[in-house]
Structure 1
Amino acid sequence: MYTGFFQLAQVPFSLTPDTSFYLGLPQHEAALNVLHTAINSGEGFIKVTGEVGTGKTLLCRLFLKQAPTNWQMAYLPDPALTPLELRWALAQELGLKFSANIDTPQLLQLLQRQLILLVSQQKRVILVIDEAQALPNDTLETLRLLTNLETEQQKLLQVVLFAQPELDQRLSSTAFRQLQQRITFSHQLTVMNTLQIRHYIAHRLAIAGCFTPLFSDTALRLLHHYSRGIPRLVNILAHKCLMLAYGEGRTQVTWQHMRYAAADTPAVKATGHHLPIVGPLLMWLAAWRVAR
């Protein structure tokens, strides 16, 4: 790979949501502030939405990582669960040990007892669900019913949903009006502007061990144009540009590299940009040099 050529300790633009690369942009810090405020206020449902690639999973992982010791976190990365599977998954996340042949009423009783026990230990129990737009309708209703569990002073369970905007569309229907009213705190992630992208690129390169500018000014302007400020697309394009520069033995990414990288990225081509048709060929050339 190109890391040695650019004197990088690691790949700076991986698609894996790595919290060590987190940059506290205002839109992401605002989301974290909303989450902490809502949890400390004892709200039942909190929602963070954003378009594909805007950093929801990274924020989710950071939120879990930063949780104070008095928060009992339950995390469900796969929301495609039936109501019963949801209850089982929550029970397991809360550390319950039980026989697999118990019925639903017994499972609910065990869940309620465990929640009461945790609250008596001064714990806030928080269920975090990523990709929540994929929750089936009946599972969403089960979530609402679970948040009905409460003492006279507080909810026994709080729920944080990270989702694409499709969840908002579903919740706007009359079938979910009760659940929508329960969501008292929400935040919508926005994309990065040009200045933020420059800061983002420099930050990730610095974390990877490089403190010299590897991208020309024109390349960075094109990066904002082609990525539309979406962090995932920024990572994809920046990674491909470094491959191209390495393939040509160049120590800086140029605007030509950015155009070729965009031509090789379906999510960019789908927007109708006029791009060169030789992008994939140069990507193959860069890969060939890496394999040598």
Structure 2
Amino acid sequence: MYLQHWGFDRSPFATVAFGHGVSADGREPYPTRPLAEATARADYLVSQRRRLGVLLGGRGWGKTTALAAIVAEQRRAAVQTVLLDAVGLTARELLFRVAEGLDAAPDSADCQMKLWRRIEDALAENRWQRIATLLVVDDADELGPDSQQQLVRLARLEADPAAQWTILLAASPDSLERLNSALLHLIDLRIDLARWTADDTVGYIQNALVEAGRYEPVFTDRALDLLHDLTRGVPRHVARLADFSLLAGAGQQADSIDAATVEQAFAETKWTPDGMAAAG
């Protein structure tokens, strides 16, 4: 009923968990200003051969999607890039995944010392071939003390001025203090992922509707303004509230989504951005 009522080929917000609207089928995420700023800063980090950077953003702000966009851009630039999700990784698993991403052919029987040798050899080969290398670690604040100590050692691996070895960590601002103090002292660049502007929110929603097969407007201007205000520009919440509003509108057999429908959908979801009270 939902798709048929609005004339969609597919659900426009089926990938709401991805924050910035990245698609599960590989489509590029919607180019918001915060995303463009993050990718530009990450490119500076790599191109200027900085050792360590950190990407910070609250829950639902699109860190994972921003990292995916950064990785895609750097790979297009012929940078060998390794992307890891740190959740649940032990120190050995971290090293194994890094070696695997560097095409160092790690063996399941390798001890940590052997994994280190593989990583060092792979980086030396890249340095000889003048290939830049980027390690991206999502949810780095979830790593335990031993794993973080391995990150410190990884960050210090390539001291040679000719080296092009960069690490980019992602974490939430309020958990930055969980990172090893040695890691914090090594940070060359901090990238703060901003919330969406009103233009970002409207552009993302309208683009998602068109990609889903709907070319006529669905949300009124006031509904879009209210949706942005209620979600405070938090990408994941924007997508969820837009999706719930469409569902509510379909249930009412509405011809469009007005501000009252958005407000009703917001009240029924029983959540507020960042655990704070709704905007007045």
TM-score, normalised via structure 2 length? 0.88
Change (3 A) 1:248 1:127: same
Aligned to 1:230: 234
**How many equivalent residue pairs?**
271
Change (3 A) 1:187 1:255: same
Code of the aligned partner of 1:153 = P
Identity %: 24
Q: Tell me, which stretches of 5 or more residues in structure 1 are unaligned?
A: 276-292
- Aligned partners of 2:110, 2:196: CA distance in 1, in Å? 49
SS at match of 2:276: coil
Code of the aligned partner of 1:106 = K
Aligned to 2:167: 159
Give the C-alpha shift of residue 151 in structure 1: 5.7
Code of the aligned partner of 1:116 = A
2:69 to 62, 66, 77: 62
Q: Deviations over 1:137-181 (max 9, x none)?
A: 33122111112222633346321112211342334xxx60x3222
Aligned to 1:41: 48
Change (3 A) 1:101 1:11: same
- Residue pair 2:33, 2:196 contacting (<8 A) in 1 also: no
Code of the aligned partner of 1:32 = T
Aligned to 2:97: 89
2:276 to 252, 271, 274: 271
Give the C-alpha shift of residue 16 in structure 1: 4.2
Q: Verify: 1:25 aligned to 2:32, yes or no.
A: yes
Q: Aligned-pair RMSD on alpha carbons?
A: 2.3
Aligned to 2:148: 140
Aligned to 1:11: 11
- Residue pair 1:53, 1:231 contacting (<8 A) in 2 also: yes
Give the C-alpha shift of residue 79 in structure 1: 3.4
SS at match of 2:10: coil
SS at match of 1:5: helix
- Residue pair 1:125, 1:157 contacting (<8 A) in 2 also: yes
Give the C-alpha shift of residue 243 in structure 1: 0.7
Give the C-alpha shift of residue 40 in structure 1: 0.7
Q: Verify: 1:249 aligned to 2:253, yes or no.
A: yes
Aligned to 1:258: 262
- Aligned partners of 1:199, 1:13: CA distance in 2, in Å? 14
Greater shift, 106-115 or 147-156, is seen at 147-156
Which one has a bigger Cα radius of gyration? 1
After superposition, where does 1:158-237 map in structure 2 within 5 Å? 158-171=166-179, 176=181, 178-237=182-241
Give the C-alpha shift of residue 36 in structure 1: 0.5
- Residue pair 1:149, 1:156 contacting (<8 A) in 2 also: no
Q: Deviations over 1:162-209 (max 9, x none)?
A: 2211342334xxx60x32222111211111233332222212222222
SS at match of 1:267: coil
- Residue pair 2:45, 2:166 contacting (<8 A) in 1 also: no
SS at match of 2:55: strand
Q: Deviations over 1:17-72 (max 9, x none)?
A: 32536222222211110000110111111111111111111111112222225211
- Aligned partners of 1:29, 1:11: CA distance in 2, in Å? 25
1:101 to 109, 113, 122: 109
Give the C-alpha shift of residue 4 in structure 1: 2.7
- Residue pair 2:17, 2:236 contacting (<8 A) in 1 also: no
- Aligned partners of 1:119, 1:274: CA distance in 2, in Å? 52
